[in-house]
């Protein structure tokens, strides 16, 4: 019986080190092979980051390393200029090992829309963008759906979408003739084919092989059939397969989550090769359920998407494009796929807002990204000319950092000294966040600066400065 493959947490740096060239040449950016091996098993580096291992002389070791480190859920990419990468999961729970490859969100257009409406919707999808704690969150793909069943019309819609964006495409039709028309237009762009079913699998498999495109195997509500379909497609020589076990809204949602979870458990716990593939969630399906009214459908689609992203969709197709429906998905995805061991942080140091003079206020905050960008936004909207000193708190928020002593009087005194602020201003007052008020006395002692206690919520900074700056004692 074949030996069960090691899970990522069972692979030790020694397992990787033994297969590296072991010359300690440093070309990978760390001093020696053992340090590189540690980075690889922590998911902080990839094997290809070691240039010598790519030489012909290490071919065998390279293949064995890739086999050792291959995730139980296959990585699949679609698109060409811009690509979407899905799958690549090692574990069920994100605290075991940071999730890789955030699920792309595709928004649909359909071939019954007139050309101007298709172009306008594609433009809206491609330009959707939201700045969130220093990152730009965007949508990732376009799903072109055939609803007319007319091959020529589908081909034209695909052409129009392709001419309007370089986002990766998902072509959606169960009719092989319609799909063929789409692939004749977009086949060279490696779109994802949706979908091969128990009825059309032979023709869809031929198209997937001919155009070299990944394909979705769809068997809504029937995991046994889905396994059989995957086995059949694999026998046709297709390896890039995405699973669609069906997305059911409303009372079917619990069953949907059960199916997604069963598939991911089979992949990550049992190493099941038939289910070791990315899963497609289709929250868009709520629009074909009972008539609820547009806003109720959007609401249902939004919570379905969030639930499926959590358990365990690797790709989502949605219909709603309203900010209140899509934004929560983007922000939740960001949180879910951030390394839980490393809070999102910004660089510590001095930030300058507006044109501060020598009497400008000086404020303190932590280097937790969410805190920093909230404070920054509040300072900007209050149109303040001031200095902000960001203290290294290990990426913790002010309250947590004070509780854990990551923000203390000595650190604040050191940050004030190192920032060079003393040369820029004529006073010695610094505003501490309200949540760090209890550090006031000791900070005055450690730094020699006078403390003003700021608001507990940074939205109050503007009011504080307008009403209480400069401090009375100076005048
Ligand atoms: S580049 Fe490769 S061989 Fe050189 S130190 Fe790094 S891991 Fe070792």
Name the residue of 34, 39, 52 whose CB sits within 8 Å of the most ligand 1 atoms, as the mutation to test its pocket: 52
Ligand 1 atom with the smallest distance to the CA of 26 is 5
Name the residue of 50, 51, 53, 62 whose CB sits within 8 Å of the most ligand 1 atoms, as the mutation to test its pocket: 50
| Residue 145, phi then psi, degrees to nearest 5 | -105, 135
Find out whether 282 and 255 touch, Cβ atoms under 8 Å: no
Q: How many CB atoms lie within 10 A of CB 40?
A: 24
Last residue of a domain, one of 336, 364, 382: 336
* Residues 354, 320 share a domain: no
What CATH number is attached to the domain comprising 20?
1.10.15.40
Last residue of a domain, one of 69, 85, 104: 69
| Residue 20, phi then psi, degrees to nearest 5 | -80, 165
* Residues 441, 411 share a domain: yes
Q: Does 32 contact ligand 1 (Cβ within 6 A)?
A: yes
Last residue of a domain, one of 312, 336, 360: 336
Indicate whether 343 belongs to any domain: no
Indicate whether 431 belongs to any domain: yes
Q: Does 27 contact ligand 1 (Cβ within 6 A)?
A: yes
* Residues 365, 321 share a domain: no
The pLDDT value recorded for residue 475 is 44
Q: Does 28 contact ligand 1 (Cβ within 6 A)?
A: yes
d(CA 378, CA 461): 7
* Residues 198, 128 share a domain: yes
Find out whether 190 and 79 touch, Cβ atoms under 8 Å: yes
* Residues 187, 316 share a domain: yes
Indicate whether 344 belongs to any domain: no
* Residues 114, 252 share a domain: yes
Indicate whether 342 belongs to any domain: no
Task: Give the three-class secondary structure for 58.
Answer: helix
The pLDDT value recorded for residue 1 is 46
Name the residue of 35, 36, 65 whose CB sits within 8 Å of the most ligand 1 atoms, as the mutation to test its pocket: 36
Structural domain count, the chain: 3
Q: What angle do CA 28, 34, 36 make, to 5 degrees?
A: 30
* Residues 292, 432 share a domain: no
Q: Does 21 contact ligand 1 (Cβ within 6 A)?
A: yes
Ligand 1 atom 7: residue of nearest CA: 33
Find out whether 144 and 381 touch, Cβ atoms under 8 Å: no
d(CA 308, CA 279): 10
Indicate whether 246 belongs to any domain: yes
The pLDDT value recorded for residue 42 is 86
Indicate whether 61 belongs to any domain: yes
* Residues 84, 37 share a domain: no
Indicate whether 193 belongs to any domain: yes
d(CA 474, CA 472): 5
Ligand 1 atom with the smallest distance to the CA of 23 is 3
- Per-residue pLDDT of the chain (475 residues), as tens digits, is 445 677 777 899 999 999 999 999 999 999 999 999 999 998 889 999 999 999 999 999 999 999 999 999 999 999 999 999 999 999 999 888 889 899 999 999 999 999 999 999 999 999 999 988 888 999 999 999 999 999 999 999 999 999 999 999 999 999 999 999 999 999 999 999 999 999 999 999 999 999 999 999 999 999 999 999 999 999 999 999 999 999 998 889 999 999 999 999 999 999 999 999 999 999 999 998 777 789 999 999 999 999 999 999 999 999 999 999 999 999 999 999 988 877 889 999 999 999 999 999 999 999 999 999 999 999 999 999 999 999 999 999 999 999 999 999 999 999 999 999 999 999 999 999 999 999 999 999 999 999 999 999 999 999 999 999 999 764 4
Report strand pairing: 105-110 vs 141-145.
parallel
Distance of CA 96 to the CA centre of its chain: 17
pTM, whole model, 2 decimals?
Answer: 0.85
Would you state the structure tokens that stand for residue 386, as one six-digit string?
């001031």
Name the residue range of residue 54's domain: 8-69
Indicate whether 226 belongs to any domain: yes
* Residues 259, 135 share a domain: yes
What CATH number is attached to the domain comprising 470?
3.40.50.11600
* Residues 185, 130 share a domain: yes
DSSP string, 105-165: EEEEEETTS-HHHHHHHHHHHHH-EEEETTEEEE--EEEEE-SS--HHHHHHHHHHHHHH-
Cα separation values, 145 from 123, 242, 314, Å:
17, 17, 20
Give yes or no for a cis peptide into 195 (omega within 30° of 0).
yes
The pLDDT value recorded for residue 8 is 76
The pLDDT value recorded for residue 305 is 98
> In sequence order, what are the residues at sequence separation of 6 or more whose Cβ sits closer than 8 angstroms to the Cβ of residue 241?
76, 214, 215, 216, 217, 230, 233, 234, 277
* Residues 433, 469 share a domain: yes
Q: What angle do CA 38, 14, 277 make, to 5 degrees?
A: 70
What CATH number is attached to the domain comprising 296?
3.20.20.20
Ligand 1 atom with the smallest distance to the CA of 25 is 4
d(CA 363, CA 383): 15
Q: Does 49 contact ligand 1 (Cβ within 6 A)?
A: no
* Residues 64, 94 share a domain: no
Ligand 1 atom 8: residue of nearest CA: 33
Ligand 1 atom with the smallest distance to the CA of 24 is 5
Ligand 1 atom 6: residue of nearest CA: 28
Name the residue of 17, 31, 32 whose CB sits within 8 Å of the most ligand 1 atoms, as the mutation to test its pocket: 32
End-to-end Cα spacing for the chain: 85
């Amino acid at each position: 019986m074949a030996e069960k493959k090691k899970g990522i947490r069972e692979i030790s740096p020694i397992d990787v080190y033994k297969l590296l060239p072991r010359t300690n040449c440093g070309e990978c950016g760390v001093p020696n092979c053992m340090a590189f091996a540690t980075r690889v098993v922590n998911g902080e580096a990839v094997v290809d980051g070691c240039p010598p291992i790519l030489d012909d002389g290490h071919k065998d070791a390279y293949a064995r390393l890739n086999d050792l480190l291959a995730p139980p859920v296959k990585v699949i990419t679609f698109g060409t200029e811009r690509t979407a990468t899905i799958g690549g999961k090692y574990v069920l729970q994100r605290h075991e090992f940071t999730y890789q490859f955030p699920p792309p969100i595709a928004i649909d257009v359909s071939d019954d829309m007139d050309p101007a409406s298709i172009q306008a919707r594609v433009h809206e999808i491609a330009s959707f963008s939201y700045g969130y704690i220093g990152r730009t969150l965007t949508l990732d793909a376009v799903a072109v759906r055939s609803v007319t069943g007319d091959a020529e019309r589908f081909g034209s819609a695909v052409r129009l979408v392709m001419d309007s964006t370089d986002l990766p495409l998902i072509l959606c039709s169960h009719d092989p003739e319609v799909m063929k028309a789409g692939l004749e237009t977009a086949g060279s762009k490696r779109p994802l084919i949706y979908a091969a079913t128990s009825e059309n699998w032979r023709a869809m498999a031929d198209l997937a092989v001919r155009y070299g495109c990944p394909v979705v195997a769809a068997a809504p509500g029937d995991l046994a059939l889905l396994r059989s379909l995957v086995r059949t497609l694999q026998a046709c020589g297709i390896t890039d397969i995405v699973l669609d076990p069906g997305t059911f809204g409303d009372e079917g949602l619990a069953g949907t989550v059960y199916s997604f979870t069963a598939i991911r458990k089979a992949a990550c716990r049992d190493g099941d090769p038939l289910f070791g593939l990315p899963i497609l969630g289709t929250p868009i399906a709520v629009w074909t359920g009972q008539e609820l009214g547009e806003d109720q459908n959007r609401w249902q689609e939004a919570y379905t998407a969030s639930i499926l992203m959590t358990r365990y969709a690797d790709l989502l197709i949605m219909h709603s494009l309203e900010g209140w429906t899509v934004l929560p998905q983007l922000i939740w995805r960001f949180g879910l796929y951030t390394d839980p061991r490393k809070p999102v942080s910004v660089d510590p140091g001095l930030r300058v807002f507006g044109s501060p003079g020598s009497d400008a206020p000086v404020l303190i905050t932590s280097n937790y990204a969410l805190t920093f960008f909230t404070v920054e936004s509040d300072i900007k909207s209050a149109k303040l000319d001031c200095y902000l000193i960001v203290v290294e708190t290990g990426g913790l928020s002010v309250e947590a950092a004070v509780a854990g002593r990551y923000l203390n009087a000595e650190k604040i005194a050191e940050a004030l000294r190192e920032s060079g602020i003393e040369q820029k201003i004529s006073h010695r007052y610094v505003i501490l966040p309200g949540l760090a008020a209890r550090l006031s006395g000791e900070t005055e002692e450690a730094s020699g600066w006078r403390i003003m206690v700021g608001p507990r919520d940074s939205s109050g900074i503007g009011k504080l400065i307008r009403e209480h700056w400069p401090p009375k004692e100076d005048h």
